[in-house]
Amino acid sequence: MNFPVDLTPLWLTLKVAGVATLATFLVGVNLAFLVARSRFWGREGLDAFCTLPLVLPPTVMGYYLIVLIGRQGWLGHWLQEVWGISLIFTWQGAALAAAVVSLPLIFKSARAAFEEVDANLENAARTLGQSEAAVFFRVSLPLAWRGILAGAMMAFARSMGEFGATLMVAGNLPGKTQTLSIAVYDAVQAGNDAGATILVLLISVVCITILVVSSKALKAGYM
């Protein structure tokens, strides 16, 4: 069967959202554990900083990223000079934008999940001679797992739908950085309503599937 629209944006979106979620998972869970379990100066400041992308307009995040990782940005300049890497207009750039924007979702739910964990259980493990790493991996993480997973699902969904920052950082390059949400925008702008309809239905079906599967998985308690 010949599908009426090019499916590249779908695969690209899944790749971008997957990489972004993996990155936010690692960074978000670590930061959340730090904020939930340690006491240090600027703790609430760090919390606010990690939550900022949730409240700031995506265009503001996009602008920060361009200024930071653009060819003239200090980080972008360094990446270019030392490693020859340029993130602007690449799918990696799109993944970075999606990761930054979806970080608060996993960070917030992971922090809440870690704070729910009874500190006595962790202390009991310590009295039994477990190292801090073992306490984290064998007590805190398994007990907070559901909240973290729910956060990861939300982050994945948010990454799939990310538009504003992605458009600014990665542009609208068909086959390279044109994700589903940008392909929809592009089709509507060009007056291609038939193409837009198919893409819109596609992203809706994919998102509903993800939501249903993830809620089943969470309920079944396999994870």
Partner 1 sequence: MTKHILILLLGFGVLLIAGAAAQADQELIVSTAASLTNGMKAVAQQFEKMNPGVRIIGNFASSGVLLQQLDKGAPADVFAAADQKTMNQAQEKKLIRPETRKNFVSNQLVLIVPRDSRLAVSSLHDLSRPEFKRVALGNPATVPAGRYAKEALVKAGLWDQLSPKYIFGETVRQVLDYVRRGEVDIGFVYSTDVVIAQGKVKKVLVVKGHQPIIYPIALVASTAKQDLARRYLEFVLSPAAQEILSKFGFGKP
Distance between alpha carbon 103 and the CA centroid of its chain, in Å? 5
Determine, following the binding rule CB under 8 A, whether residue 66 of this chain makes contact with partner 1: yes
**Gap between the Cα atoms of 35 and 208, Å rounded:** 32
Instruction: For the segment 89-108, give every residue that binds partner 1 (CB under 8 A).
Output: 89
Asked if 83 touches partner 1 (CB under 8 A), the answer is no
**Residue selected from 6, 71, 75, 116 as contacting partner 1 according to rule CB under 8 A:** 71
Q: Cα–chain-centroid distance for residue 101?
A: 7
Cβ closest to partner 1, residue 173 vs residue 211: 173
184 binding partner 1? (CB under 8 A) = no
Stretch that binds partner 1, among 119-127, 128-136, 137-145, 189-197 (CB under 8 A): 189-197
Distance CA(33)–CA(198), nearest Å, equals: 42
**Considering the rule CB under 8 A, would residue 190 count as an interface residue with partner 1?**
yes
Residue among 112 and 200 whose Cβ is closer to partner 1: 200
Q: How far is the CB of 2 from partner 1 (least distance, A)?
A: 22
Nearer of residues 121 and 190 to partner 1, judged by Cβ? 190
**Are the CB atoms for 121 and 139 separated by under 8 Å?**
yes
Residue 202 to residue 8: CA distance in whole angstroms? 12
Token pair belonging to 70: 């653009």
Among 121, 99, 217, 111, CA closest to 165? 99
CB of 196 to partner 1, least distance (A): 11
Residue with tokens 């240090």: 40
167 binds partner 1 (CB under 8 A): yes
63 is a contact residue toward partner 1 (CB under 8 A): no
Whether residue 105 contacts residue 156, with contact meaning beta carbons closer than 8 Å, is answered with no
Residues that bind partner 1 (CB under 8 A): 66, 70-72, 88-89, 167, 171-173, 186, 188-191
